[in-house]
Amino acid sequence: MALNPGSPPGVGPYYENHGYQNESPYPPRPAVVPSAYAVYPAQYYPPAVPQYAPRVLTHASTPVIHVQPKSPSGTLCTSRTRRVLCITVALGALLAGALAAAFLLWRFMEDKCSVSGMECGSSGTCISPSHWCDGVLHCPGGEDENRCVRLYGPNFILQVYSAQRKSWHPVCRDDWSESYGRAACQDMGYRNSFYSSQGIADDSGATSFMKLNISTGNVDLYKKLYHSDVCSSKTVVSLRCIECGVSQKMSRQGRIVGGTGAALGDWPWQVSLHVQGIHVCGGSIITPEWIVTAAHCVEEPLNHPRYWSAFAGILRQSFMFYGNGYRVEKVISHPNYDSQTKNNDIALMKLQTPLTLSDEVGPVCLPNPGMTLEPAQACWISGWGATHEKGKTSEMLNAAVVRLLEPWQCNSKHVYNGLVTPAMICAGYLQGDVDSCQGDSGGPLVTLKSSIWWLIGDTSWGSGCAKPNRPGVYGNVTVFTDWIYRQMRVNS
């Protein structure tokens, strides 16, 4: 977390934290610098090893091969007995290979949609998760458009997509029960998670509702729903699948202005992501099993979950040495992440065992569609990143207040000159002063709205730390909410 008002104007390295570095991690620079790095001086080469973190030695899985001396030619299978034995061994090896191939083929056929993500029950066709709930029937029976739910606005209004009308509609509270809320939460990827379901006045301006037909008996929730222009209760369903966005910081807002140390419970969703005992990146808890971080944190070779462990509810890095943290089961980068431009810089980690939630460990809320942010909305950043450019990882968790910057400001020729895409969001101050820095990558950019904390960004990149006209750039989580829910559903 950088507090660097005295930094001279100019351009410095992007604060990417890869942790592990090969001997020569950077290929030779092309003659023309790619547009994504247009802010680099032509002669700039990133150091082979970041100065802000000690080198992480990952134990390669490549086995050590001990070569045995060859037997003298012609002595192995000369006698008849040995010749029979050799043939038997060869046939056994061929049979074993055939059995292994048959087993792998069977497993592939059994789980043929493990890559595509969804199987159409009526036909067995596999479709991509990106085709779920996109308004187009890809399954012959329409299964891909049947279970499409989302939460809308700061009041978590439950909406169901109508493939027939190609639009989203709130669910009328009439005849609603908690069991339906639990089913909807599961379909959004909240496995075994449910918080509340209640009726509130609709503020989306809807003129048509999805309503329950309870006379249909014990059938699927979505088969019970039908279109209605009338909602007798005049209320719609507000659904909370998880208690999120709760912080003890409400009474201590003055503590973090300017970048100061955090207290336990201030940012309960903040995690430290380690590789072999070393802090590499930050992340944000969204469920007891799922963490949001940056895709550039998990580029090869760190795209395998075995390297990672997560620590939550701990303020000091030195206190993390005494535990093993939570092991990671899956690492999922956004499929359209661009390592050069840092576009779509978001990734998910699924933990092997769920976190134990408490006042010090808890999820932040994902932003719902329909939420509006002010052009200069106050936001907060937190992390163990360096407190000045090229500095070391901080021992204590720090946090600071920043303000959103409009895209036209960040893309002006004096700032980032068109490098900021719609999948990115800018926050900070054009005069410098406060910023994210090395080690903060993947960590949260949050804002307080309707007394709830929302995750609107993950720390992605920036030119230097806290320099004038070089604000922080974050992955725009508001763009990725649907993608996050899809991953949670397919990997639950």
Q: Mapping DSSP to helix (H, G, I), strand (E, B) and coil, where does residue 127 land?
A: strand
Tokens of 54: 């000690």
CB 382 within 8 A of CB 270: yes
CB 236 within 8 A of CB 194: no
d(CA 474, CA 480) in angstroms, rounded, equals 12
Please report, as a single letter, which amino acid is at residue 436: S
Residue in 197, 272, 309, 441 annotated catalytic? 441
Query: CB atoms < 10 A from the CB of 353, how many?
Result: 10
CB 206 within 8 A of CB 216: no
d(CA 318, CA 330) in angstroms, rounded, equals 26
Nearest C-alpha neighbor of 320 from the set 278, 383, 382 = 278
Per the annotation, the verdict on 296 as an active-site residue is: yes
Residue in 296, 333, 382, 458 annotated catalytic? 296
Per the annotation, the verdict on 304 as an active-site residue is: no
DSSP string of 301-331, one letter each residue:
TTTSGGGEEEEES--BGGGGGGS--EEEEEE
d(CA 121, CA 365) in angstroms, rounded, equals 32
CB 44 within 8 A of CB 12: no
Residue in 345, 433, 435, 440 annotated catalytic? 345
Nearest C-alpha neighbor of 118 from the set 194, 187, 221 = 187
d(CA 295, CA 342) in angstroms, rounded, equals 8
Active site residue ranges: 296, 345, 441
